[in-house]
Amino acid sequence: MKKDIHPDYHTIKIVMTDGSEYMTRSTWGKEGDTMNLDIDPKTHPAWTGGSTQLLDRGGRLSRFNSRFGGLSFGKK
């Protein structure tokens, strides 16, 4: 097997949108880094049945709606 071709697999901390956190292993970041999630299974409409609103982080959602909000995509 070739040496030094595999990424470093280490422990990181994941912080969910509600503040809960857990430790997992990942190739993301460095050992001990913290990943803060903007969208997770507790807030994403695909997992919540569409009842939760997405938060507008940095104006991206409102910018999207202003550009494409008038399109109907087959609605009658």
Give average pLDDT by consecutive 10-residue segment, the chain, 76 residues: 87 93 95 90 73 65 79 64
The predicted pLDDT at position 39 comes to 82
User: 34-36 and 21-26 as β-strands: parallel, antiparallel, unpaired?
Assistant: unpaired
Question: Does residue 57 lie within any of the structural domains?
Answer: no
Question: Does residue 7 lie within any of the structural domains?
Answer: yes
Question: Does residue 18 lie within any of the structural domains?
Answer: yes
The predicted pLDDT at position 58 comes to 65
Question: Does residue 22 lie within any of the structural domains?
Answer: yes
CA distances from 53 to 13, 48, 56, 61 (A): 26, 10, 9, 11
How many residues in the chain?
76
Question: Does residue 26 lie within any of the structural domains?
Answer: yes
Question: Does residue 19 lie within any of the structural domains?
Answer: yes
The predicted pLDDT at position 27 comes to 94
Question: Does residue 73 lie within any of the structural domains?
Answer: no
